[in-house]
Homo-oligomer: A and B are copies of this chain.
Amino acid sequence: MALTDPDRLFPIEPAARNVARELYDSIADLPIISPHGHTDPSWFAQNNHFVDPAQLFVVPDHYVFRMLVSQGVKLTDLGVPFADGSVEENDPRKIWDLFAKNYHLFRGTPSQMWLDHSFEHVFGIDEVLSQDTAESYYQHIDAKLKEDAFRPRQLYDQFGIEAIATTESALDDLKWHKQINDSDWNGRVVTTYRPDATVDPEFEGFSDNVRQLGELTEQDATHWQGYLKAHQIRRAYFKQMGATATDHGHASARTENLDPKSAEELFEKAMSGHFTSEDADQFRGQMLTEMARMSLDDGLVMQIHCGSYRNHSAVVFKHHGRDKGFDIPTATNYVDALKPMLDAVGMEPDLTIIIFTLDETSYSRELAPLAGAYPALKLGPAWWFFDSYEGMKRYRETVTETCGFYNTVGFNDDTRAFCSIPARHDVARRSDCAYLANLVLTGRLRKQDAFELAHDLTYRLAKEAYRL
């Protein structure tokens, strides 16, 4: 029995299904461009075996463990570490059993879809995961992980990846990327400049981070001009190590365009530690515009991810720290928030700012109208909770009519779960082909144009938008 349906996600009506399948067949084997994600560069640098099934599929993936937690399973029983790094449950089989026993919770979710895809297409399993099959699953996957073919570089090739971007702090030494670049392996793993820790006054250790940025760049980063210069130099270093983009994770979409003197004073306040929450927010907003200006100079593509209330549960944050599945989307205003930055640089045709949202109500109301007007602005794909069939469907349905296809930038998987990459891209390709087939069958798109678009959405737009 196959775990996955070969016609999954295609329209149900036979004529539309046929067109979707034709479109999909024409692009299914294209290489994967993965321009934004969170895989660990050390995997590709060291090419060590993955440790065990629980560490591969459960423990590091907050998509997976939050669902178990929501039904009463304890984080500690899933091997999720405490904030100090210690772990209560160390037995990967116990963790795996807990996961297997509760696998029905994932019915109808994208997690089930990519997990089944991995089980079948990466590990060659053909029975459903459950309490009954937990042990045979564990043994099977564990044995595979010990084979050479399941090491990171070999999987990279098997998955058909052409280029993959990781994300590193501005303070990262990028030693793994250096090691990859210096190796004889010809996979392409590029970094992305993520300056949050050095542009957000409320980030733990902000002023120290800024000082460290200064040391790394041999600038006096404690003064405004030196600080800006330090970012420019550090960006250049990231670019030299392969980066084509920056990434900015902000709670809101707020941007500012202060006069230089006000910006300088705000920076000094931020560095002094004596600032209000409003000051911090204003400074983050100012830095988005500064970063956009730097992108105009150095050509790095700018990505803005916003609208997440991070670490919503005080209890979980206190015991287990960040990234434990308690980041919750919030309503986000883009129209007012982006205006200062767009007034400054929005009409620049050589600049690319890619914006992501967790508030899907903004797609048709705000983001598609903005991306359908400003040359610098492009719309990132359905993100996070919307990285799913229905999410992608609503994205295309609410966005395309207003900003067309060409103000979007293809798919990105945004994942730290390596095995999910081919599965996620496959979902995106199938969803797009289903959408295109519906347009063709309802007379909204010529069939030959649909073939060209299928290729564009799968490959060309991501490659071009991210300058990969």
Chain A residues in contact with chain B, CB under 8 A?
A: 4-5, 7-13, 15-16, 66-67, 69-72, 104-110, 113, 128, 309, 312-316, 325-326, 328-331, 333, 335-336, 339, 342-343, 346-347, 349, 358-361, 364-366, 368-375, 377, 385-386, 388-391, 397-398, 400-407, 438-439, 441-446, 449, 453
Contacts and interface: CB of A to CB of B under 8 A. Distances in A.
A13 B438 CA distance: 11
Question: For the complex formed by this chain, how many copies does it contain in all?
Answer: 3
A444 B108 contact: yes
A66 to B, nearest CB: 5
B330 A441 contact: no
Given A107-B449, A312-B370, A313-B343, 15 more contacts: A5-B442, A8-B444, A11-B12, A71-B375, A71-B406, A104-B449, A107-B405, A109-B404, A312-B335, A329-B335, A329-B369, A331-B365, A360-B364, A361-B361, A390-B401
Contacts of A390: 397-398, 400-401
Contact of A375 (B72, B397, B398): B72
B349 A358 contact: no
A131 to B, nearest CB: 15
B389 A401 contact: yes
B110 A70 contact: no
A420 to B, nearest CB: 15
Contact of A374 (B7, B70, B403): B70
Given A10-B442, A315-B343, A365-B359, A107 B374 contact: no
Given A15-B12, A389-B444, A66 B372 contact: yes
26 contacts: A5-B442, A8-B444, A9-B444, A12-B13, A12-B16, A12-B441, A70-B373, A70-B377, A70-B403, A71-B375, A104-B449, A107-B449, A108-B439, A313-B343, A313-B347, A313-B373, A328-B366, A329-B369, A330-B366, A331-B331, A364-B385, A364-B391, A368-B385, A388-B401, A389-B442, A391-B401
Contacts of A109: 400-402, 404
B444 A329 contact: no
Contacts of A446: 128
A312 B339 contact: yes
Given A12-B11, A326-B373, A328-B370, A108 B400 contact: yes
A8 B444 CA distance: 7
Contacts of A364: 360, 385-386, 391
A372 B404 contact: no
Contacts of A4: 443
Contacts of A339: 312, 314
Contacts of A108: 400-401, 404-405, 439, 444-445, 453
Given A343-B313, A400-B108, A446-B128, A333 B331 contact: yes
Contacts of A72: 349, 375
A439 B15 CA distance: 19
Contacts of A11: 12
A389 B346 CA distance: 29
A15 B388 CA distance: 24
A346 B317 CA distance: 13
A385 B402 contact: yes
Pairs A-B, 4 closest by C-beta atoms = A8-B443, A5-B443, A72-B349, A388-B401
Question: Which of A66, A328, A377, A445 has the most chain B CB atoms inside 10 A of its CB?
Answer: A328
